[in-house]
Amino acid sequence: MEIEYVGHSDDVSFLHPEPCVMALGFFDGVHLGHRKVIAEAREIAREKNLKLAVMTFFPHPKEVFSCENTKVNYLMPIDVKAETFSDLGVDKLYVIDFTKSFAALSPKDFVHKYLVELGALHVVAGFDFTYGHKGMGNMQTLHSDSNYSLQVTTVSKLEEDGRKVSSTLIRELLAAGQVLKVADYLGDFYETRGELLPLSIVIKQGSFHAEVITAPYFTLPKTGLYEMEAQMGERIYHGTAYVRPNSAETSIFDIRLVWPLKKSKDLMIKLKWLNRVTDPKRMIADLRLAAHASTIF
Ligand SMILES: Cc1cc2nc3c(=O)[nH]c(=O)nc-3n(C[C@H](O)[C@H](O)[C@H](O)COP(=O)(O)O)c2cc1C
Ligand SMILES: Nc1ncnc2c1ncn2[C@@H]1O[C@H](COP(=O)(O)OP(=O)(O)OP(=O)(O)O)[C@@H](O)[C@H]1O
């Protein structure tokens, strides 16, 4: 998949525009609602034999508009979003620099300069997508804003438990520690990435303890103990993660893995947040059992 970072010069020809179906939105976390949009766009691209492109923005509009520099608790950085889109069959990702002057474009100017000129022939977005100055453009105005040149498909709302599946809802669930529920909206467990802090690593009696520093643009769940799955290199481990009261500021938390594990030079770690541990004693008993089983098989 190709990635094009788009600034705001007048000339877009260097971006090699290609006729495409374009899916639009911020897509933080690439949850099940987002996947519905991408799947619809992918189907149209296949039928029309066109490339599948996604247009996303960075930073988040909320960060650009807030007077007091509201911090957005991002679910994933751009590189992980790009990996996910690539896995979903996207051919090209446009990342638009979301500046105040870009946001001030009239809806028509946005449609012409950023959709038509970038080769979009058919545009796909969810029922609540808005664009242009003050978000005045919407799915009903896209066709006319393009002088009727763009085909438009609006994806209906995906709900779960009577609520719209949304990045905002997932951020709220993380803040409440409800990581198991998050998986219902994401379609998988929430994943963060980071690095082991080398001086923190302690290995004793087959158990491995370390501190992890989380990479930027991920959000840790609420303070507490979690059951987690870790991936280092090709290997998968099980264990627990403890998010400390100050982890939101430091991005650092503790992990404990039970598989016998040797020190490795590769300090990169991916973590899936499986469940919040409400009964630590039972959790420890379960993990001992698992460690024991590993010595048998
Ligand atoms: C060209 C453009 C201009 C925008 N201008 C504004 C704006 O002036 N005020 C605003 O609140 N949001 C503005 N937005 C943000 C949109 O309302 C919306 O949050 C953004 O496109 C992300 O869409 P999504 O949340 O559906 O993914 C603009 C978006 C685009 C694409
Ligand atoms: N539940 C959903 N059902 C259908 N389409 C959706 C859903 N959620 C988002 N979309 C669409 O996916 C694209 C990206 O949406 P966006 O990034 O605004 O997601 P969001 O979850 O609504 O985010 P936030 O909660 O931060 O507003 C947009 O085209 C949007 O309309």
Give the Å distance between the CA of 7 and the centre of ligand 2: 23
Tell me which ligand sits closest to the C-alpha of residue 29. 2
CB of 26 closer than 6 angstroms to any ligand 1 atom? yes
CB of 135 closer than 6 angstroms to any ligand 1 atom? yes
Token pair of 34 as six digits: 């987002």
Instruction: Give nearest CA residue, ligand 2 atom 21.
Output: 166
The predicted model gives 65-71 an average pLDDT of: 74
Position 3: which residue type? I
CB of 129 closer than 6 angstroms to any ligand 2 atom? yes
Instruction: Give nearest CA residue, ligand 1 atom 14.
Output: 135
> Of residues 266 and 137, which shows the higher confidence score?
137
Tell me which ligand sits closest to the C-alpha of residue 62. 1
161-197 b/e with 16+ CB inside 10 Å = b?
A: eeeebbbebbbebbeebbbbbbbebbeebbbbbbebe
Task: Identify whether the C-beta of residue 123 lies closer than 8 Å to the C-beta of residue 155.
Answer: no
Q: What is the predicted pLDDT for the residue at 199? A: 92
Q: Which residues pair with 137 in a beta bridge?
A: 131
Query: pLDDT tens, 87-135?
Result: 999 999 999 999 999 999 999 999 999 999 999 999 999 999 999 999 9
Tokens 């099980």 correspond to what residue? 238
286/176 Cα distance (integer angstroms): 24
Residue to mutate, 96, 166, 171, 185, ligand 2, most ligand atoms under 8 Å from C-beta: 166
Give the Å distance between the CA of 25 and the centre of ligand 2: 7
This model of the complex carries an ipTM of: 0.90
Q: Is the pLDDT of residue 292 over 70?
A: no
CA atoms within 13 A on the CB side of 215: 16
The predicted model gives 186-210 an average pLDDT of: 90
